[in-house]
Amino acid sequence: MQDYEKSEVNNKNGVCGVNVLSPTLHEAVKDIIKREGYLTHELNARSLPQDGANYMTKLVVATIKGKTAEGDKITDIFVKEILPDDENSFFLGSDFHLHELFVYREPLRYYMKFQEEAGIPIEDRYNIAQFYEESNSEFVILENLVSQGYTTVNRMDPITLNFAEQSVQQLAKFHSLAFVLKKKLPDYFDEKIKSLKYQVNFEGKWTTFLKNIYPVTMSELNDDKKKKTEAFLPIVVEKFPQYYKDTSVGCLCHGDYRANNILIKVDGGVIKKIIPVDYQVIRYGNPITDLIYFIFLGTDQQFRKDHLENIKNLYYDTMIRFLKYFDMDVEDYFPRTQFEKEFVAKLDFGFMSAAWLFPFLFASEDDLPEINGAIDKVEYKVDKRMKCRIEGIVDDFIKWGYL
């Protein structure tokens, strides 16, 4: 086999060929080829189109196939390449990217080490995608889990109970490992973790953005419900940033823990394994916000009626059990009484998150919003499924006394 890098061709699923790789990324891939021991290789790369699940990065997948001293080998990689910053936005994508790069290089490596040292069975660990050291300030390179049979659920459909249970258990383990990191490396935790803030400027442009997108989410409510949600908007503007700044429970939070940021492997209709990804919104804060965010962006009203209490309890009970591997008591870090109070006190974070994210979560795949440029002029075309989901959330929060 000769060394071969496929030329660029058009493809309905994006663009194929090594020409989709930037010069820097191409050099990084060459370094991977060398480090993986390829004697000869064929490299095929293609960009992925936007599908409404990703707005801040360009996505590329590449397959390296060839021979090593040990025999035939295939390496599939997935790349998140940073897009140029938009000076008109209320956030900088480069800041989020550097956070994700840091998390894979440091905290997640500690998490893998801690679990190994504690002798936690593979099937009971927090699952982490393989990270390649060739990642840098321009891109993050990971194993391509899709090539291994992983997929994501449809971002617009309500999640199933089985998916919710496994996802919440993984989230509880992720937060538990933050407490382990805090105990084992307190100086590191104070210096590196506590400094991770949510990279959004909540002044000026954020307020303008929120006031413009909020009516889009509420547009199909009846007049009475619309008035109730309009009256709540000033509270959202004031309280939402406070939730992101709250550190009453010091923890490393995922920040964007929702269904389409969780990859699943299904066998015979049963979810066998899940791997959380997309850590660019990682931050130091209150873990309750991750749990509530996941619930309200992924479930419908009937699910919350049937399972909300059980899902909440499963999260906490998983922390109790998982921390025992490290001879730690969750009560020393997140007492049950505080957990229950925090959950009730911050429940409206679910409404607030849905209020500004639903137009992106339910963006029509054939007409995605252009978020570059003037944020007060963005047009949103949303799927009809959003109406039922936001109505259910508004109904819940009316029933709970928030609206």
Residues 50 and 114 in one domain: no
Residues 104 and 56 in one domain: no
Residue-number span of the structural domain to which 183 is assigned: 93-128+150-399
Residues 253 and 289 in one domain: yes
Q: What confidence score (pLDDT) does residue 200 get? A: 75
Q: Say how far apart CA 298 and CA 162 lie, in whole Å.
A: 13
Residues 210 and 304 in one domain: yes
Question: What is the percent of the chain with per-residue pLDDT over 90, rounded to a whole number?
Answer: 76
Residues 50 and 17 in one domain: yes
Chain segment 55-105, per-residue pLDDT in tens:
567 899 999 999 999 999 999 999 999 876 565 565 566 788 999 999 999
Q: What confidence score (pLDDT) does residue 380 get? A: 82
| pTM for this predicted structure | 0.92
CA angle centred on 280, ends 193 and 346, rounded to 5°: 70
What would the mean pLDDT of 349-378 be, rounded to a whole number? Answer: 78
Residue 2 pLDDT exceeds 50: no
pLDDT band at 11 (very low <50, low <70, confident <90, very high): very low
Residue 232 is assigned to a structural domain of this protein: yes
Q: Say how far apart CA 191 and CA 396 lie, in whole Å.
A: 40
Lateral strand order in the sheet of 270-276: 150-151, 262-267, 270-276
What would the mean pLDDT of 371-380 be, rounded to a whole number? Answer: 62
- Domain count for the chain: 2
Residue 373 is assigned to a structural domain of this protein: yes
Residue 84 burial (C-beta neighbours within 10 Å; 0-12, 13-18, 19+): exposed
Chain segment 216-248, per-residue pLDDT in tens:
999 989 999 999 999 999 999 999 989 988 989
Residue 194 is assigned to a structural domain of this protein: yes
Look up residue 396 and give its amino acid.
D
Residues 342 and 253 in one domain: yes
What would the mean pLDDT of 387-399 be, rounded to a whole number? Answer: 97
